[in-house]
Amino acid sequence: MPTLKRLAIWTLLATQTVVPAFAASAEQWAKRSIYQIITDRFALPPGADPTKCDAGEHTWCGGTWNSIRQNLDYIQNAGFTAIWISPVNQNYVGPKTPYGDPYHGYWIQDNSQLNARFGTADDLKALSKELHARKMFLMVDVVVNNVMATSTSPDYSKYMFKDKSMYHEYCPIQWGNHDSEQTCWFGDDKVPLPDVDTKNPTVISTYHTWVRELVEEYGIDGLRIDAAKHVNKDFWPGFVEAAGVFCIGEVYGGMEVNTIAQWQGPAALPSVLNYPLYAALKEAFVIPGTRNTSALAEVLLQEQQNFVDTTVLGNFMENHDVPRWHNMSVDPQSMYNAMAFMFMTDGIPIVYAGQEQYFSGNSDPWNREPLWVSGYARTPAYELIARLNLVRNYLIHSTDWVTQPTNVLTVSDNGIGVMKGPVVSVLTNIGSPPRNGSSLAVQSPYESSTALIDVMNCRQFVVGSDGWLDVEYTKGGVATILVPRDLLSGGPICPPSPSSQNVKGGQKQPSNGVRATVIGDWAIGFMALLTGAMMW
């Protein structure tokens, strides 16, 4: 039955050249941007009471695959080209545990069934179909490392693997001990997570069949793999091949780039979530914080030296396991600048539902707020993300920007300047208050007098002598993304408006060393909504 549909999807994923299916899909995913959803928390079915969800209760709030499908406009209008949804397979069924109910979907009981809480097989297929009709991709979260139990001697007959011999013997994880992290059980004695023996040949072949069927049946375009580093690395290449689609593993960690980078490549996974970049973004942009942009530059360099391919890493500032950015950093410009960096550097940007609404929960369960309380408002953060997606999608379609490596141009107390392909991004961590006399100067490879447009507000810059660009902060610490004017002509980003066709020289503002000059606003009317909303 799914053959025709799969053919269509494969055509979508395939590139012109003859390459293995997996390589093509990684390449395609590099050009996507992802909106991360916990199915239970994104949207309610029509008629449901929106006041009944308390994240602190650790229980279901009522979101479904159908309600995601009915609210895709909100995601697509922000420019996203893919969604990642929480696990779809059957979870623990039973009394509420000391850690609540499995509304998040990660407490796998039987992977061979869908989770009826979120809908039927047809509902999931309808979501997939609707995404593809919108030319969007579906990424599904899968849990392979473990199942969930309420005792250390569970009844194995309820799981997909029904024999005790297909699991490691119970032992609590000794953190820091590699073997223990691989074979012992996650969780604790209240909610133990029995560890599947992923070296057992029956387990391996069953998982291969399972994942192939899951992907084919539901038209899944990519997988996010939970707790990937707790599975033996050599399990992954066969699993990825069986899946036949791009896989991105959760390899939780900090700035230890070379350890995490070992999980990407032909002997491991196509990609991992970019925890080192996340840690470095916090170092650089959280206010108050260390604001160490050198640490960010260092991580960027190390990633390019250690990862097989940085352009397919999953970049993020938030997810359901870490504090909301707005909990750590209240100044919105902190988030906007870090967000702009995340979109303009190597990797696939991932935004966790609710960040665009300034949600500020800290740890689990407070960082899993229901999105509907926001009224799906077009907040300044939402508009900023929409703008970044628009610019990134445009660059991807009109240049080879996405495969170019990011280079650091400058690191200073005020921020960081980077260049990827033709784009110069100047990001600051000074925060919202205007700072007259404060600026960030970067030396670009552009010839003096080259016209660049700040695509965040359509302001025109002209490159000064020796390639210098000087960004001033008289309107506060806003993100600046400079693209050659010629590259934008004819496109949807900052089209020249009739009134500004002849930019008057009178608006010149030579800065201290006659470096770069702002000479006028291009099509600022086009951006009125955005700029008005952005507190500038």
CB of 186 to ligand NAG, least distance (A): 24
Q: Which CB, 368 or 392, lies closer to ligand NAG?
A: 368
Q: Which CB, 287 or 295, lies closer to ligand NAG?
A: 295
CB of 233 to ligand NAG, least distance (A): 27
84 is in an annotated binding site: no
Largest CA distance in the chain: 80
Measured CA angle at 397 (ends 393, 403), to 5 deg:
85
Following DSSP, what letter does each residue of 223-279 receive, concatenated?
EEETTGGGS-GGGHHHHHHHH-SEEEE----SS-HHHHHTTBSTTSBSEEB-HHHHH
**Catalytic site includes residue 226:** yes
CB of 535 to ligand NAG, least distance (A): 16
**Catalytic site includes residue 250:** yes
Bridge partner residues of 469 (DSSP): 442
347 is in an annotated binding site: no
Determine the Cα–Cα distance for residues 290 and 442; give it in Å rounded to an integer.
22
Which residue in 110, 216, 221, 226 is the catalytic one?
A: 226
The H or E element spanning position 397 is helix 380-398
Measured CA angle at 385 (ends 384, 391), to 5 deg:
90
In this structure, the number of other CB atoms found within 10 A of the CB of residue 386 comes to 17
Provide the CB-side half-sphere exposure for 58 (13 A, CA).
13
Q: Which CB, 181 or 321, lies closer to ligand NAG?
A: 321
368 is in an annotated binding site: yes
With beta carbons less than 8 A apart as the criterion, state whether 161 and 111 touch. Answer: no
With beta carbons less than 8 A apart as the criterion, state whether 454 and 492 touch. Answer: no
Q: Which CB, 100 or 434, lies closer to ligand NAG?
A: 434
CB of 474 to ligand NAG, least distance (A): 4
Whole-number Cα distances in Å, 527 to 224, 392, 491, 523:
36, 17, 14, 7
CB neighbour list of residue 3: distance below 8 Å, 6 or more residues apart = none
Bridge partner residues of 451 (DSSP): 462
254 is in an annotated binding site: yes
321 is in an annotated binding site: yes
Residue 186 in 3-state DSSP? Answer: strand
With beta carbons less than 8 A apart as the criterion, state whether 378 and 356 touch. Answer: no
Which residues lie near ligand NAG (CB under 6 A)? 290, 292, 294-295, 298, 327, 330, 360-362, 366, 434, 436, 474
Which residue in 221, 250, 356, 472 is the catalytic one?
A: 250
CB of 360 to ligand NAG, least distance (A): 3
CB of 518 to ligand NAG, least distance (A): 11
Q: Which CB, 100 or 484, lies closer to ligand NAG?
A: 100
With beta carbons less than 8 A apart as the criterion, state whether 410 and 266 touch. Answer: no
Q: Which CB, 101 or 283, lies closer to ligand NAG?
A: 283
Provide the annotated binding site for substrate. 107, 224, 254, 321, 368
Provide the annotated binding site. 107, 224, 254, 321, 368
Query: Which residue numbers are catalytic?
Result: 226, 250
